[in-house]
Structure 1
Amino acid sequence: MRIDAFMNATNIVKRRSIAQDMIDNRVVKIDGVCVKASRNVKVGDVIEIAFFEKSQFFKVLKIPEIKNVPKSLSYEYVEKIVS
């Protein structure tokens, strides 16, 4: 699954276009490397999103089979890492 679609499906961002803009502005990294929107996400990847001066980290636990995961179940797919 593409990184922009993954971020939208797991409720990290509300819209896929927002994820696309964040990736284009080089705010999103996977395992410390800036990525393109077409980059596929794998289980175990760590997604870093730089919000202003602070970064948030998310670990990919599972790839969703559906387009939009209910917010109450997003913890099964992504885990927020406290830094």
Structure 2
Amino acid sequence: MRLDKFLKVSRIIKRRTVAKEIADQGRISINDKIAKSSTDVSVGDQIVIKFGNKTTTLKVTMLKDTTKKDEAYDLYEILNEEYKEDYRF
């Protein structure tokens, strides 16, 4: 499954176009390699996503083409979330 579609189906990122933009900016890596939106995602892959001041590391546990909102959280497991504090005034 494509990275952008996985992020949308799992509801990590709400829209596929936004997932594509973030991936194409080099802010997502799969198994320590920078990923594009078309990169294939497999079960067991470790994905690191850099959102503004937050970095989320997750592991893909299941792949489905469509999910209901309640089932979306079964597709991944969050391994780590780090927040950078911004001290600019």
TM-score normalized by structure 1?
0.88
Alignment partner, residue 84 of structure 2: none
Percent of counterpart pairs with the same letter?
Answer: 32
- Measure how far apart 1:58 and its partner are: 1.3
Q: Distance in 2 between matches of 1:51 and 1:76?
A: 21
Tell me which structure has the larger Cα radius of gyration.
Answer: 2
Q: Which consecutive segments of 4 or more residues in structure 1 shift more than 3 A? A: none
Gaps of 5+ in 1: none
Q: Where do 1:27-46 residues align within 5 Å?
A: 27-46=27-46
Gaps of 5+ in 2: 82-89
Higher relative contact order (CA 8 A, sep 6+): 1
Q: Where do 1:37-76 residues align within 5 Å?
A: 37-66=37-66, 69-76=67-74
- Match of 1:82, SS? strand
Alignment partner, residue 7 of structure 1: 7
The structure in which a higher percent of residues are helix is 1
